[in-house]
Structure 1
Amino acid sequence: MNFDTIVLTLVIIFAIFGLLRVFIGPTIWDRLLGFSLFSSKVIVAAILIGQLVDRTFMIDVAIIYGILGFVGTILIARFIERRGDI
């Protein structure tokens, strides 16, 4: 195993922790924070995968996913703020 695969494995483990926070978070804000954490780890994983397979278009995929994750987090937060707890 080289350094890149070790880092990718750690990022995937941290992403799983983010998903656990989404599923078992006691409040809706904890779940939103877990979603944001998972989104950021997916971005890092996409860039690392692009580095491992030597494909530069993965950076574009990571940027697009980052924008979608940010917009999703903002929309969910605004929905919760206006409508209350889900």
Structure 2
Amino acid sequence: MNFDEMVLIVVAILSVFELGRVLIGPTIYDRMLGFAVFSSKVIVTAVIIGVINERTFFLDIALIYGVLGFISTIMLSRFVERRGDI
């Protein structure tokens, strides 16, 4: 097991904790923060998989997912600002 695979395992374990924060978070702001951090961990995972497999299209997927995660965070923030808690 090399360093890249160990980092991938650690990121996967931390992603499970962030998913728990999204599901159990007491407030909507905790859930939004958990979603943003989970989204960034998915991006890091895609980049690491791309490095391990030596495929560049994983970097494109990570970039697209980053843009979609940013847009969804902004849209969810606007929704909460206008309507209050979900």
Written as runs of structure 1 = structure 2, the 5 A alignment for 1:22-37 is: 22-37=22-37
| Distance in 1 of aligned mates of 2:73 and 2:17 | 18
| Distance in 2 of aligned mates of 1:10 and 1:78 | 33
Paired residue secondary structure (2:79) = helix
Written as runs of structure 1 = structure 2, the 5 A alignment for 1:52-71 is: 52-71=52-71
Deviation at 1:76, TM superposition (A): 0.3
Paired residue secondary structure (2:85) = coil
Partner of 2:72: 72
Q: Which runs of 5+ in 1 are unaligned?
A: none
Letter in 2 for 1:52: I
TM-score, scaled relative to structure 2: 0.98
| Distance in 2 of aligned mates of 1:74 and 1:18 | 19
Aligned length: 86
| Distance in 2 of aligned mates of 1:35 and 1:17 | 11
Task: Calculate the aligned-residue CA RMSD, in Å.
Answer: 0.5
| Distance in 2 of aligned mates of 1:18 and 1:43 | 14
Deviation at 1:62, TM superposition (A): 0.2
Q: Which runs of 5+ in 2 are unaligned?
A: none
Paired residue secondary structure (1:51) = helix
Displacement over 6 Å in runs of 4+: none
